[in-house]
Amino acid sequence: MLERLFNPATVAIIGASTNPAKSGNRFLKGLIDSKFEGRLFPVNPKIKQIMNLESFKSIQDVPEEIDLAVLAIPNSAALEAITECAKKKVKFVIVHTAGFGETGPEGREIQARMVEVARSSGMRIVGPNCMGIYSPEARFDTIMPYLNDPAKKESGTVAFVGQSGWGTETVIQEGLNRGLNFSKAISMGNQCDLTIAEYFEYLGADPKTRIISSYMEGLVDGRRLIQVAKEISSKKPIIVWKSGQTPSGAKAAASHTGSLASSDPILKAAFKQAGIISADSIFELIDFLVAFNSPYLPQGRRVGILVEAGGGAVAAADACEREGLILPRFSEGIRAEITDYLLKVGAPKPAAGNPVDLVWPPFGETPKIIQKCLEIMYSEIDVLLWMTYFPLADEKFAASVAEIRDKVKKPLFVVPANPLSQTQALRVYARRGMPTFTRPEHAVKAISALVRFAERTG
């Protein structure tokens, strides 16, 4: 249904410009720079050529069928442009411009008229008041065309649907920084036509999407969303941060995207019934996405903790108990095996009960010691949380740790002791499906979300 939206062969930029300060310039330049493989058609009645491409006076003058038109024009001209696109039989339109349903009755009336015109021809609208689409496989991006991170070009398995340009940009950029790659992302704005439920329905059937996530301010068709989520959530995790839950937040949402507030307790109950995983903030949503990037689900609630300093173990143990996770004391045989090994390699007074505390092992032996402890510990746990001072940028060592995890097919979570100095290293592990976090409490909460999903779908 939405395939040509995310993989358009022909794109018209209505409002294309030679002025670098205008969005019509940034969108066109971004698509050219990213080597978008489809055909681009600038539309501007005042300019004959833009970036070495012929510019057309009207969408009607474009000599080919158009899959997707991007409107980068003032809101006063949007209805006329939508009408022209409908006559042209354009399949999809992204209305970047704001100033519609979120502004009051007059804006809502224009927005409704746009939808009426679009539906008369079968055309679908993304927006208005939105950033549009990011589809790395198609090399198409109107959300962050200025972002030069090489990772942005790599297609992944995470999809995001956001009702805010800020939220969508944050999830994409922070997600890339954390080692995630995206299949698709949508900044949908007011969702006057295409709704969250329809995006979810498409992504649920999309073989390239393994994890679905969303930032919502309000629901347009809540019943359909819940029904669609029920059908998807047994196969793919759906992670949602719903904002506007306080009177102040609801008021801000109404002025931002024209969204109506929903009763928080009722909505949370409906989400839970539908199998939706709720996040309490946009950064917790990103944490959960990182966690679900693990190729394996835990088969139980038993967590093993490996540390090199006791304070981190205490923080992690407290967090596990708060989340209802089990921190089992290892069997006598496992404790003896760990203790004998650590004493043999020169670790002073190791603790082997769980958490396992290496107590400053000989630095030159650290990689070998960590590998051995992971191998021993995995036999009596379902998830391993490793908190370490060891420099994590070594790709070869990361590969060896991933190999140990792959043998037992159990998740491995990583928390570096000095995360600010290991920002790039975090990607190394996350890209291998070993979720990384800057704080043990965040890692444990993400483990809990993974455990609950496994229990519900297992």
pTM: 0.93
pLDDT, tens digit (0-9, with 9 covering 90-100), for 264-305: 778 888 999 999 999 999 999 999 999 999 999 999 999 999
pLDDT, tens digit (0-9, with 9 covering 90-100), for 113-143: 999 999 999 999 999 999 999 999 999 999 9
pLDDT, tens digit (0-9, with 9 covering 90-100), for 403-416: 999 999 999 999 99
Residue 245 has pLDDT above 60, yes or no: no
Residue 345: predicted pLDDT: 87
DSSP for 107-163 reads HHHHHHHHHHHHHHHT-EEE-SSS-EEEEGGGTEESSSTT---GGGGSEEEEEEEES
Burial 288-320 (b: 16+ CB within 10 A, else e): bbbbbbbebbbebbbbbbbbbeeebbebbbebb
Domains of the chain (ranges, CATH numbers): 1-146 (3.40.50.720), 156-293 (3.40.50.261), 295-457 (3.40.50.261)
Residue 404: predicted pLDDT: 98
Instruction: Kindly state the helix (H) or strand (E) to which residue 42 belongs, with its residue range.
Output: strand 39-43
pLDDT band at 244 (very low <50, low <70, confident <90, very high): low
DSSP for 280-349 reads SSHHHHHHHHHHHTSSS--SSSBEEEEESSHHHHHHHHHHHHHTT-B-PPPPHHHHHHHHHHHHHHT-SS
Taking residues 34-43, what's their average pLDDT?
Answer: 96
53-54/49-50 β-pairing: antiparallel
* 52 or 102, which is more confident: 52
